[in-house]
Structure 1
């Protein structure tokens, strides 16, 4: 049986993945289960718009809520707005770690992107 070539039907061929990590404070419930908080975002390569996001929270609704704060924003030019949305809307104990995850993902994108990203505004 011949295997079909892999296609990204869900996100499309122009999708890329950005990930950021942070060490949560030892006093947070997430630190009991995970050593690192991981935030993964699927982006449109050209526009930088966040198509999907997920993080390894203990409760799915937390990860879904965080995704709702990020999806639709341009990761290339709206990092400050994304951080502000997390600070305004997410009042869990891992808020600071989430901000670090966003900054880490952005830094990795800047370092590893074959094409230069637009300048930060």
Structure 2
């Protein structure tokens, strides 16, 4: 399904204590499949209690690049996602970009 140039990175962040995601998973996370040749997100899924939430979050990230943290992505999340996990999505995104940059530097430089 994914070509050999892709890597899997998970970013995580905390949700509110009264969030259903916290009850089910204890922490919020997003898994990203990233093409190391283009730095493009080719797939993403989030820990969510409702499938449409994960699909919506995926739609924000697929096609974006992970070469650096993009303020426009953060603004898009703030403009489009109004669930209680908004802050956790942003933190997860930034965590994943940081991890991806480490992986890319270590294995793909």
Q: TM-score, normalised by structure 1?
A: 0.81
SS at match of 2:89: helix
More helix by share: 2
Alpha-carbon displacement from aligned partner over 1:59-89 (angstroms, at most 9, x marks no partner): 0100000101110111214632222221111
| 2:109 is equivalent to residue 90 of structure 1 | no
Kept in 1, the 8 Å contact 2:15–2:22? The answer is: yes
Q: Secondary structure at the match of 2:10?
A: strand
Cα deviation, residue 90, structure 1 = 0.7
Q: 1:15 aligns with which of 6, 26, 32?
A: 6
Please state whether the residue corresponding to 2:71 is helix, strand or coil.
helix
Structure 1: tracts of 5 or more residues without a match? 1-9, 117-121
Q: Partner of 1:119 in structure 2?
A: none
C-alpha distance in 2 between matches for 1:72 and 1:29: 28
Unaligned runs of 5+ in 2: none
Normalised by the length of structure 2, the TM-score is 0.89
**Of 17, 26, 32, which residue of structure 2 is paired with 1:26?**
17
Moved over 6 A (4+): none
Q: Which has the higher contact order (CA 8 A, sep 6+)?
A: 2
